[in-house]
Structure 1
Amino acid sequence: MWKTTLVLYQLLALGRPLRAQDDVPAAAAITPQDCSLNCVQQGGPGCEYCRITRADLKRALGFNSIKGFGSCIPWPCFELLGREDRKLCQHYVQAPNDVKVELVNELDPKSDTVVVSWKPSYYGIAFLRGFQVSLQALGGTSVACQLFLFHRNLSLPASHAQRVYKSDPFPGLSLGSQYAVTVMALPVPEEWEKFYRSKFFSTRSCAEKNGLEQCKKDWYPKNIEVQQEGSDITVTFNLAPPNLGIRGYFSLCYANGLKKYTDITPNSSKNQTHHSYQLNDLEEGTNYSCEIAANEVDAVRKTFNVRVLHIQKGGSLPLSVTPSLALILPLSLAVVAMFVVLLAALTRRPKFWMKKLDIKPDVIKQHQESGTQEEVMSLTRKRLTPPRLLICYSSYDGPAHVKAVMQLGAFIQQHMATQVCLDLWESLSVAEEGSMAWHCRQIRDSDFILVICSPGLNHRPKPPGGGDGGGVDEEADGGLCFGSNAFSSNAAVQLIGEEVGRAKAGGQDLSKYMAAIFDYSEEADIPTELRLVSYYTLTRDLQLLFSHLHTVALHGPGHYLKINHISEEGYTELPAGEALQCAICEARLAMTAKRHHSVAGLGVI
């Protein structure tokens, strides 16, 4: 019935005279207007596309929304436009299309500002009431959200699906960081699919925005010259600008498993642009791979090569040696003639030669082509899109454990070619849909499911509303409370366990499901129902986890799969890996303190 109503409504809308916004070309971008929420609710002129502020929400609803969510609240169409007429917010509207993120120039050298643009969908456009745009940092909890509403009497024709709508600027974004932006069409339908569109993007680095000479963390020497005079190796490089405050440098040279470290302290009073230093105790006839960088934390290293030539002792050959050529030349010709005769004899009898030595030519060729046992095997791309991984966990073990899970998701998202689904990053969708419904949908749609096991999974919290009655009313300011995910995550783990049991009983593939523990947990923390699936210890088994996600063998006959920076030792070289290591250390300390406190409490009793 509603589909028939939708078609009739669009036909009537196409027949109406165009409004004030119809004068705007289809390709022009529609920017938000300053208009009151009262104008939007009454459907007055001049408020076709309005930004809704946090102050507007407080006046309309009588309480403040959560600060991080700005002007966004769950079900904004029903709360702000549908109180008088519920039919305004009951029609299906599909997700926007062509979501783009545009960087905006600003004066602040330490942050970036972006503006989001999109196009509405054809489906349900006549009942479109607005958009909600949220932005969240990957690996963090910061959220920014903006709400835009059409006035209640506005009806967009299908031709307006080619219009571009824009958000207000999102300022203060950290440089060199990754973010996720989500654009949601309003009203949100009861069918929780296809009502929003998400996009990942990265802000510029400091060097990209301000130039290398203005960024202490990103600066590195660009010009390096190496000269050898006798046994002396001299390296000359350009110094950092004085405004960066870099006073010391260092270089590292590697060869034959040995490492040579050189500390460099230039004298700025002599030369402020370049400096030269000596490399000592290098072996003759050896090629060295060297690095040079500022003596600062996380400084970028510049790589260069040093080839140490053989030093000919005693200088050049004396002239008295030249007459010996008269003796050397005939001897050399005789050796060459003997070699030619021997080569001709061998080439005329190849079959007899091979038969006598019992060596097969194909075996020789195979041996020559096999190479060493460290030949690198390239990763084949079998899928057009990265695998989708849902991470489930328990928040009962405290914020330090939750932070470790969040940093693990950020590392997998950035450096393991995998799309990660984590409720910490989709708090708006979880609030809109409900935590349990969100987990069920993600379990169904994800390619893989990873359960982070910890002692908290064995804890069975009471369902919301079933306790002593002292939990929900703690929000004194009357703001919205999304609550803990402890109950829903434990229920989701139980649901996953049931899925694993059914799949095992039916002889189905169990590769979709995985379990993992951090090194501060134990294998006993893995629930019994998840012992049937593959489980890993992180961060020791990062390479095995990568192999599982991309269905590729790490080793094969005569070759191995090389994965940059995904190993127990190498992952900390990346900023995301270092953050993951720090989060695991903090969680380990917090877990140890919690266990000691529990033991002490039992002793007191």
Structure 2
Amino acid sequence: MLNAALVVYHLLALCHPLWAQDSAVTITPQDCTLDCIRQGGPGCEYCRITRANVKRALGFNSIEAFGSCVPWPCYELLGEEDPEICRHYVQAPNDVTVEILPEPNPKSDTIVVSWKPSYYGIAFLRGFQVSLQALGGSSVACQLFLFHRNLSLLASHAQRVYKSDPFPGLPLGSQYAVTVMALPVPEEWEKFYHSKIFSTRSCAEKNGLEKCKKDWYPSHIEVRQEGTIINVTFNLAPPELGISSYFSQCYAKGIMKHMDITPNSSKNETQHSYWMTDLQEGTNYTCEIAANEVDAVRKTFNVLVTRIQREGATPLSVTPSLALMLPVCLATVAIIVILLAALTGLMPKLQMKKLFMKQESLPYTSGLALPIPASDDIRHGESGTPEEVVSLPGNRVTPPRLLICYSSYDGPAHVKAVMQLGAFIQQHMATQVCLDLWDSLSVAGEGSMAWHCRQIRESDFILVICSRGLNHRPEAPEPEGYGEDERADGGLDFGHNAFSSDAAVQLIGEEVGRAKARGQDLSKYMAAVFEYSEETDIPTELRLVSHYRLTSDLELLFSHLHGVALHSPGGYLKINHISEEGFSKLPAGAALQWAIYEAGVAMRAKRHESVEGRD
């Protein structure tokens, strides 16, 4: 008996490395046919599904952006022979990672997504669906992978790494949300997908600083003082970048000095020197230099203008009387300094802090570390006094969650403005934005109204973008009018429910009314209009809550979201790049400004057409 046990033990010891090696393998997609998947052939364990497969199986094309994906891939592609195969619960994948592949195109990146399946429900796992969506835009790419119907994975296979096909042609410096969904989708819509937000590389990261016009900046700066004049020498951009002019700005005591610089490349192609005059002695200037290009990176350096000994000035001789007075003066000064230090210690001080935000695994935001305004971007100041850095409240460990509701009835230009607003708030206002345009898979699965109800319940704040179309009540289209031929030509309808925004606003209005009747806090709810809309576009039920005009009230919106006072005794809060004059300097701010302008033009044209139609 003992000998038999030892034999079994040795066999298990020999098999364990083989099992571990098998469970840690990387699985890449295969080319298979749907017939092979349905029949359970041995050569179709992990198969990519193409648009041709979908068309052959369902008889119509899916939307171009969704590639081979369909809303219910398990039921549509595997459930005809055995509906039970798609009814089991499968939990979300783990360890979703994004890997950047070598890409010869200097303007784009190619990525591949990898993940591990969950232990829970792994025996019933039928495949994965991987979608890629651009933040601040509507572009979507999607890939579908299925196992053959007879495959049943073991718990040990949860250590396997599955990979997607490459996603090519992603523009540099862009943000994306990648979502990996386990199939079949359960009836209870939770924990069945895993999302991760990532950014493609910058031009400088991929190609080197010397090959990127937008990212290039002077790396070598030398400052030399000659009398009261400052000489600055910096390295020029490579000739192939085509940068012909530069600018420099210096700040001190609330005064800015701007200088345009145009080097003569025929004399020196590697460096250039320029002179700064009219600088105050004994003053420390903070200066910037950059190429004279849109969104160019600025190089910061300091210039300390030392005091110059004048020729006519002679040092004072120490007379006996002065020698007697000097110790008395020093003692007086020391007493004054001690008193001032004691008084200063009793006064409240604002301390510079960095707010580190906890990363949480949230739908479409897992692994997201939201950008927050840097400590030197938020300042209290007043005329004639130095600015003091303040910090965001430190009692919040996660960014505030903001749901944005809007009406799509005002056209695609208005929807684009809403998307750009969401992207700006997420990138530069330390806030997690929930927008149905960025969560299309979940909206399609839950239903638009159910999705809005869940987000209203889970969000910290709700912002309703009010426009003329928000009060429009369109009639539901007749279902008979949409024929089978139109369905085949148009593909699947992934559009949002035409009534969802109206119903969501009505639901929010009811919540506001109940909270007001009970005397509860209404700060969760906000309303806003863009510059092309009017205050009268705000529905009556939302007149009770705070409302803002965007983009002029971005600082007020930031104050509302983070509980930061805009004014303090003798000072005010200045948020660089969120102020009305500063936000457009950011790429996301410029895109928002342009989207609002285009939406305003489209809105005015629509109103003009409606007036002419009535005439």
TM range, smaller chain? 0.7 to 0.9
Instruction: Name the counterpart of 1:244.
Output: 241
**Structure 1 counterpart SS, 2:216:** coil
* Structure 1: distance between partners of 2:591 and 2:331: 69
Instruction: Name the counterpart of 2:389.
Output: 376
Q: Spell out the pairing of 1:444-455 with structure 2 (5 A cutoff).
A: 444-455=457-468
Instruction: Name the counterpart of 2:599.
Output: 587
Give 1:239 deviation, angstroms. Answer: 0.8
1:498 maps to 2:510: yes
231-240 vs 280-289, which moves further: 280-289
Deviations 1:45-94 (A, max 9, x none): 02111111112212222222111111111101011000111111111112
Question: Which amino acid counterpart does residue 251 of structure 1 have in structure 2?
Answer: S
Kindly tell me: are residues 443 and 578 of structure 1, through their superposed partners in 2, closer, same or farther at Cα, counting changes over 3 Å?
same
Question: Which amino acid counterpart does residue 399 of structure 2 have in structure 1?
Answer: P
* Structure 1: distance between partners of 2:342 and 2:288: 44
* Structure 1: distance between partners of 2:497 and 2:43: 43
Instruction: Name the counterpart of 1:535.
Output: 547
1:331 maps to 2:321: yes
1:391 maps to 2:404: yes
Match of 1:27 among 7, 11, 24: 24
Match of 2:288 among 282, 288, 291: 291
**Structure 2 counterpart SS, 1:25:** helix
Give 1:300 deviation, angstroms. Answer: 1.2
Deviations 1:283-311 (A, max 9, x none): 44443332211122221111222233344
Kindly tell me: are residues 232 and 441 of structure 1, through their superposed partners in 2, closer, same or farther at Cα, counting changes over 3 Å?
closer
Give 1:223 deviation, angstroms. Answer: 0.5
1:566 maps to 2:578: yes
Question: Which amino acid counterpart does residue 224 of structure 2 have in structure 1?
Answer: Q
90-99 vs 360-369, which moves further: 360-369
1:175 maps to 2:187: no
Question: Which amino acid counterpart does residue 40 of structure 2 have in structure 1?
Answer: G
1:414 maps to 2:427: yes
Match of 1:78 among 57, 75, 79: 75
Unaligned 5+ segments in structure 1 are: 1-17, 351-358
* Structure 1: distance between partners of 2:46 and 2:525: 45
Deviations 1:362-399 (A, max 9, x none): 87764596998753331123233222221110011111
1:423 maps to 2:420: no
Unaligned 5+ segments in structure 2 are: 1-14, 351-379
Kindly tell me: are residues 361 and 178 of structure 1, through their superposed partners in 2, closer, same or farther at Cα, counting changes over 3 Å?
closer
* Structure 2: distance between partners of 1:478 and 1:336: 93
Instruction: Name the counterpart of 1:137.
Output: 134
Deviations 1:410-434 (A, max 9, x none): 1111112222111111222222332
Q: Spell out the pairing of 1:105-184 with structure 2 (5 A cutoff).
A: 105-184=102-181
Kindly tell me: are residues 360 and 431 of structure 1, through their superposed partners in 2, closer, same or farther at Cα, counting changes over 3 Å?
closer
Instruction: Name the counterpart of 2:225.
Output: 228
Identity over the aligned pairs, expressed in percent? Answer: 74
When normalised by structure 1's length, the TM-score is 0.86
**Structure 2 counterpart SS, 1:486:** coil
Instruction: Name the counterpart of 1:186.
Output: 183
Give 1:24 deviation, angstroms. Answer: 4.9
Give 1:541 deviation, angstroms. Answer: 2.0
Instruction: Name the counterpart of 1:14.
Output: none
Instruction: Name the counterpart of 1:438.
Output: 451
**Structure 2 counterpart SS, 1:477:** helix
**Structure 2 counterpart SS, 1:540:** coil
Asked whether the equivalents of residues 222 and 234 of structure 2 are also in contact (C-alpha less than 8 Å), the reply is yes
Deviations 1:299-324 (A, max 9, x none): 11112222333444438x7xxx78x8
Question: Which amino acid counterpart does residue 425 of structure 2 have in structure 1?
Answer: I
Asked whether the equivalents of residues 32 and 49 of structure 1 are also in contact (C-alpha less than 8 Å), the reply is yes
Give 1:252 deviation, angstroms. Answer: 2.2
Asked whether the equivalents of residues 133 and 178 of structure 2 are also in contact (C-alpha less than 8 Å), the reply is yes
Instruction: Name the counterpart of 1:12.
Output: none
Instruction: Name the counterpart of 1:545.
Output: 557
Deviations 1:81-108 (A, max 9, x none): 0011111111111211222212222222
**Structure 1 counterpart SS, 2:595:** helix
Question: If you compute each CA radius of gyration, which structure gives the higher value, 1 or 2?
Answer: 1
* Structure 2: distance between partners of 1:508 and 1:39: 60
Instruction: Name the counterpart of 1:507.
Output: 519
Deviations 1:565-585 (A, max 9, x none): 222222212111111111111
Asked whether the equivalents of residues 381 and 574 of structure 2 are also in contact (C-alpha less than 8 Å), the reply is no
Q: Spell out the pairing of 1:520-531 with structure 2 (5 A cutoff).
A: 520-531=532-543
Match of 1:465 among 453, 462, 478: 478
Kindly tell me: are residues 46 and 311 of structure 1, through their superposed partners in 2, closer, same or farther at Cα, counting changes over 3 Å?
same
RMSD over aligned CA atoms reads 3.0
Instruction: Name the counterpart of 1:95.
Output: 92
Asked whether the equivalents of residues 392 and 562 of structure 2 are also in contact (C-alpha less than 8 Å), the reply is no
Asked whether the equivalents of residues 132 and 183 of structure 1 are also in contact (C-alpha less than 8 Å), the reply is yes
Give 1:225 deviation, angstroms. Answer: 0.8
Give 1:539 deviation, angstroms. Answer: 1.5
* Structure 1: distance between partners of 2:333 and 2:93: 76
Asked whether the equivalents of residues 375 and 558 of structure 1 are also in contact (C-alpha less than 8 Å), the reply is no
Give 1:538 deviation, angstroms. Answer: 1.4
Give 1:232 deviation, angstroms. Answer: 3.7
Kindly tell me: are residues 561 and 119 of structure 1, through their superposed partners in 2, closer, same or farther at Cα, counting changes over 3 Å?
farther
1:197 maps to 2:194: yes
Question: Which amino acid counterpart does residue 199 of structure 2 have in structure 1?
Answer: S
Give 1:268 deviation, angstroms. Answer: 2.0
Instruction: Name the counterpart of 2:10.
Output: none
Kindly tell me: are residues 142 and 163 of structure 1, through their superposed partners in 2, closer, same or farther at Cα, counting changes over 3 Å?
same
Give 1:505 deviation, angstroms. Answer: 2.5
Question: Which amino acid counterpart does residue 587 of structure 1 have in structure 2?
Answer: A
Kindly tell me: are residues 362 and 22 of structure 1, through their superposed partners in 2, closer, same or farther at Cα, counting changes over 3 Å?
closer
**Structure 2 counterpart SS, 1:193:** coil
Asked whether the equivalents of residues 377 and 562 of structure 1 are also in contact (C-alpha less than 8 Å), the reply is no
Give 1:123 deviation, angstroms. Answer: 1.9
1:62 maps to 2:59: yes
Aligned length: 565
**Structure 2 counterpart SS, 1:190:** coil
Match of 2:416 among 403, 424, 427: 403
* Structure 2: distance between partners of 1:140 and 1:39: 37
Question: Which amino acid counterpart does residue 182 of structure 2 have in structure 1?
Answer: A
Kindly tell me: are residues 130 and 559 of structure 1, through their superposed partners in 2, closer, same or farther at Cα, counting changes over 3 Å?
farther
Instruction: Name the counterpart of 2:367.
Output: none
When normalised by structure 2's length, the TM-score is 0.85
Give 1:132 deviation, angstroms. Answer: 0.2
Question: Which amino acid counterpart does residue 463 of structure 2 have in structure 1?
Answer: L
Asked whether the equivalents of residues 378 and 561 of structure 1 are also in contact (C-alpha less than 8 Å), the reply is no
Match of 2:208 among 202, 211, 214: 211
Question: Which amino acid counterpart does residue 39 of structure 1 have in structure 2?
Answer: C
Instruction: Name the counterpart of 2:371.
Output: none
Deviations 1:190-241 (A, max 9, x none): 2222221111111111111111011010000010111122344321110111
Instruction: Name the counterpart of 1:480.
Output: 492
